[in-house]
Amino acid sequence: MSENNPFPNENNTGHFWDDNLRELSNDPPGWWRIGFHASWIFCIIYFILYPALPTLSGYTTGTLGWTQVGEYNEDLAAIDQVRSKWEDQINDPNVTAAMIVADDELRNYTIRSAKVLFGDYCSACHGAGGAGNAAMSVSESGYPVLADDDWLYGGTIEQIQTTITNGRKGIMTPYGARLSAEEIDDLAQHVVALSEGGEHAAGKALFMEPTKGGCFACHGMDAKGMSALGSANLTDVVWRFSPGGLESARHTITHGVNGELMDPQSRNAVMPAFGPLGKNLSEGTIKKLAVYVHQLGGGQ
């Protein structure tokens, strides 16, 4: 091939095919060489400055001392600094939950940060966003909705904070052993009638008779309940023990609530304590949760 090289002056290798196709040995273009040298120089500088090569016992750390974890921690510290402005106020014992509610910026921060706390500590029982967990059958008790304006123990920010700190255990004695089935039925009918704005004469008499029902002692003369006892308001359409109605009322009256020592079928309705007597969350955390529950819908 090389004997009849048609381009004797070119920097070629002497390889030709089909007369016109030839292999040259020119230097690569300038831009390519600059790129090539820049990239290996970059590699060496990078390897010196940053963690790069695995070694038997770990890796080369680089002269800058940079690590991913370090960068992450720096970011966290920056976030903490932004947060501490709010956190310091919330954790200050002189700042009450009511004061947090009254301060727009502080309240908004608190609600956002409490959302995660609620998911961690509360939603297993009270459902996402406090939507409650309905009982699946008459004998189950379910968990109350927190996102409405119906409260067993009161919906002021202070009452909600007390509920979360100390827990709650409303007690209703079982009537199964004390009253006849007919009397219990009359009472259940009365309770259902109350929730529909009416009443049931025989049931009402038992409700008001101390030696029989004596229900008024806890539920009040007007049957509207007392927040100090957590005795449900019987005159509204909201049932603590869903689905409500006759069967459910009969079950509650017969077996009572949290009276398992007197009746093993008694309803179980205990709100656990999250303060020093229970899970021992910090006061600031409990304030956050109280503010969050308070704004869910029905804070008073």
Buried/exposed 221-232: b ≥16 CB within 10 Å, e otherwise: eebebbeebbbb
Site for ligand HEC contains 274 (CB under 6 A): yes
**DSSP H stretches of helix in the chain:** 30-49, 68-91, 97-102, 104-121, 123-126, 157-166, 181-195, 201-208, 216-219, 245-255, 283-295
- The span from the CA of 66 to the CA of 213, in Å, is 74
Bond into 54 cis (ω within 30): no
Site for ligand HEC contains 106 (CB under 6 A): no
Nearer to ligand HEC, 51 or 154 (CB): 154
Half-sphere exposure of 12 (CA within 13 A, CB side): 17
Total residues at the site for ligand HEC (CB under 6 A)? Answer: 48
Site for ligand HEC contains 86 (CB under 6 A): no
Q: Please choose, out of 15-23, 35-43, 52-60, 230-238, the segment that lies near ligand HEC by the rule CB under 6 A.
A: 230-238
Beta carbon of residue 98, minimum distance to ligand HEC (angstroms, whole number): 15
Site for ligand HEC contains 172 (CB under 6 A): yes
- The span from the CA of 60 to the CA of 255, in Å, is 71
Beta carbon of residue 299, minimum distance to ligand HEC (angstroms, whole number): 10
Site for ligand HEC contains 174 (CB under 6 A): no
- Which residue ranges make up the site for ligand HEC (CB under 6 A)? 121-122, 124-126, 143-144, 146, 151-153, 160, 163-164, 168, 170-173, 175, 187, 191, 213-215, 217-219, 229-232, 234, 239-241, 244, 249, 252-253, 257, 269-272, 274, 289, 293
